[in-house]
Amino acid sequence: MYDLIIIGGGPIGLACAIEAQRKNLNYIILEKGALTNSIFNYPLYMTFFSTAERLEIGGIPFNCLAPKPGRAEALEYYRNIHRYFDFNIRLFEKAEKIEKDSTGIFQVKTDKNHYSATNVVLATGFYDIPLYLNIPGENLPKVRHYYREAHEYAFGKVLVVGANNSSVDAALECYRKGAEVTMVIRKNEINERVKYWVRPDIENRINEGSVKVYFESNICEIRENEVDIVTPKGKITLENDFVLALTGYRPDLDFLQKIGIHLSDDERKVPKYNPDTMETNIHGLYLAGVVCGGMETHKWFIENSRVHAEMIVNHLTENIKK
């Protein structure tokens, strides 16, 4: 029997564990993949928008020589956080079912074990489920919804779908490794949220013709060696070797609903929770981090959701005392 089960071993889940330790709570973290699994799955050479101090948790300094840390530095930092705090964590163990029994105790079943707790925190992020295009050919092996590095795409014809940070980074890296890069962008410009030091780079490459782009366009079909694109001037067909459909990701909303968490009726699908305590409509069940935003995945980041950990642990500690 635990005081707290934390679902998710990312930075915010670890921050919750730190606060639980400080309150002498009996807790466990369940993480379906590696430590900070989402960061592990980021592109190899990704640079964070945030500065190092904004990624810190537990009051432990994040020392970084560069103005902005990269993926490798972040992984090293969070590994050191684990070494320092020695978390009670189970890696590569996925929570599959969470329900309350007749006594009000949470029963958490994973693919390996069964746990019980009086409180549960969901800090599951949003990086696991891509926003699919839902078009013919999307299931072909050449279509990727996650991007790691450019070498695989060097000297090929690469179509990048999207205009956010991940799309722009992939387009620039692939171009510089020798790929013939074309971007398909639904709106009429590069997204304003693209990192301020990267946006001029991609705009200059587009203006000089090094990276081709179709604005106000959508990819409508993918075939083994071609893609069809609907543009303002009509449908066109391009030769193609790879499609990087980097159109974003979303939380596992079905999982939240199965637990019993209410979602807003609009397209945002925001989970119901008390912003002062982070407790959901289910007593003792809390949300932390990006998952709080539902489909608004750009609302919460490490830097502005670190505070959730202290809010949650303070509230559930008061409940335990009662």
SS (H, E, C) 83-100: HHHCCCEECCCCEEEEEE
Q: What pLDDT score does 298 carry?
A: 85
Q: Are residues 238 and 264 in the same domain?
A: no
Residues 159, 135 contacting (CB under 8 angstroms): no
145-179 tens-digit pLDDT: 999 999 999 999 999 999 999 999 999 999 999 99
Count of Cβ atoms closer than 10 Å to residue 281 Cβ? 12
Buried b (16+ CB within 10 A) or exposed e, 195-234: eeebbebbbebbeeeebebbbebebebbeeeebbbbeeee
The last residue of one of the domains, among 189, 210, 245, is 245
CB atoms within 10 A of CB 97: 12
Tell how far CA 194 is from the center of its chain.
16
90 and 159 both lie in a single domain: no
**How many separate domains does the chain show?**
2
Q: How far apart, in whole angstroms, are the C-alpha atoms of residue 80 and residue 317?
A: 27
CB 129 within 8 A of CB 252: yes
pLDDT for the residue 244: 98
Q: Is the pTM of this model over 0.95?
A: no
How distant, in Å, are the alpha carbons of 116, 197, 205 from that of 4? Answer: 9, 41, 50
Residues 49 and 123 in one domain: yes
pLDDT, position 194:
93
CATH number at residue 167: 3.50.50.60
Beta carbons within 8 Å of 97's beta carbon, 6+ residues apart: 107, 108, 109, 258
Domain match, 218 and 255 both: no
118 shares a domain with 14: yes
Nearest to 11 by CA among 82, 67, 96: 82
- Residue 160: the pLDDT is 98
| 219 and 232 in a common domain | yes
Domain of 160, in residue numbers: 132-245
Q: Which of 245, 263, 278 is the last residue of a domain?
A: 245
pLDDT at 322 (0 to 100): 64
Residues of the chain with confidence (pLDDT) below 50 = none
Q: For the chain, list the strands marked E by DSSP.
A: 4-7, 27-30, 89-90, 95-100, 106-110, 114-117, 120-122, 129-130, 143-144, 157-161, 180-184, 212-214, 218-222, 226-231, 234-239, 242-245, 249-250, 285-287
pLDDT given at position 113? 96
* pLDDT score at 7: 98
Q: 141: Cβ–Cβ under 8 A, 6 or more apart, which residues?
A: none
